[in-house]
Amino acid sequence: MLAPNFASAWRYRHFILSSIHTEFRARFVRSKLGGLWMIIHPLAQAAIFALILAELMAAKLPGMANNKFAYAIYLLSGMLAWSLFSEIVSRCLTVFIDNGNLLKKMLFPRINLPLIIAGSALINNLLLLLAILAVFALLGHIPGPQLVWMPLLIVLTMALGLGVGLLLGVFNVFVRDVGQVVPIALQLGFWFTPIVYTPSVIPLYLRGVLQLNPMTAIVQSFQNVMLFDRAPDFAGLGWIFLVTLLLLAAVLALFRRASAEMVDVL
């Protein structure tokens, strides 16, 4: 089921790459800062949280009580993971509605549209990663060799975001209320993920619920790699990997069955 989609994506790779290039070019042409806003926004948000909560949360980080910048590093590591996931989900939510006219007029593999979103989000995230590493250097923190796991974590985050985003994107074509609910759900998801706080501050009866959030293990793995110089949480990531594969397979099957009807609705 996945192989035909990969084959079609490879045949249209030049279309995908040119679309990503065109999107970034348009973004920089229309604004003096262009795509830099994708970096500035999460950095500014992290700075606000750090200014308010640094004194309170720094002592909660294991082994980091004496590092006054530990909470800022912890926060930026989590924001890096969440920004990639939320951008892909948010954009996949409306990708078919936004490209309705294109879907009606041109015959091409529909799966290319979310792949363009994933490629664009990946570039944004890599630029944000470079900016965060520069901030780390200014704060005197150099990530250790465990940073080698970062590509794996980024790919898994992208895959999960595509699975969730495509599922919601298909539903949003037929039930437009989905598009109103998802932004609220993403806000709740942000606060149910240990980005701004550490799991130790959560009551014991809620920690089990926190672990049901697939982004919890991903965010904690980003934090392990970038702050604590520890290997990712492979036990937690293992079940997320399996769930993501099943989700992608189910979404692609749904997408293929509903593709023609989606065009009629649009």
- Tens of pLDDT, residue by residue over 135-144, are 888 888 889 9
Cβ-count burial 53-68 (b if 16+ within 10 Å, e if not): bbeebbebbeebeebe
pTM listed for this prediction: 0.88
Q: Alpha carbon of 68 to those of 33, 60, 141: distances in Å? A: 31, 12, 11
Percent of the chain surpassing pLDDT 90: 39
- Residues 33-83: pLDDT tens digits? 555 666 777 778 777 777 777 666 665 676 555 667 788 888 899 999 999
> What is the rounded end-to-end Cα distance, in angstroms, of the chain?
25
Please give the pLDDT value at position 91. 93
Are the C-beta atoms of residues 196 and 75 closer than 8 Å to each other?
yes
- Domain spans of the chain? 2-265
Length of the chain: 266
Tokens of 237: 């990531």
Q: Is 194 exposed, middle or buried (0-12, 13-18, 19+ CB in 10 A)?
A: buried
- In the structure encoding, which two tokens stand for residue 75, read together? 């926060």
The model's pLDDT over 2-15, given as tens digits with 9 standing for 90+, comes to 555 567 667 777 88
pLDDT tens, position by position, 201-258? 888 877 888 888 999 999 999 999 998 889 998 988 999 999 999 999 999 888 888 8
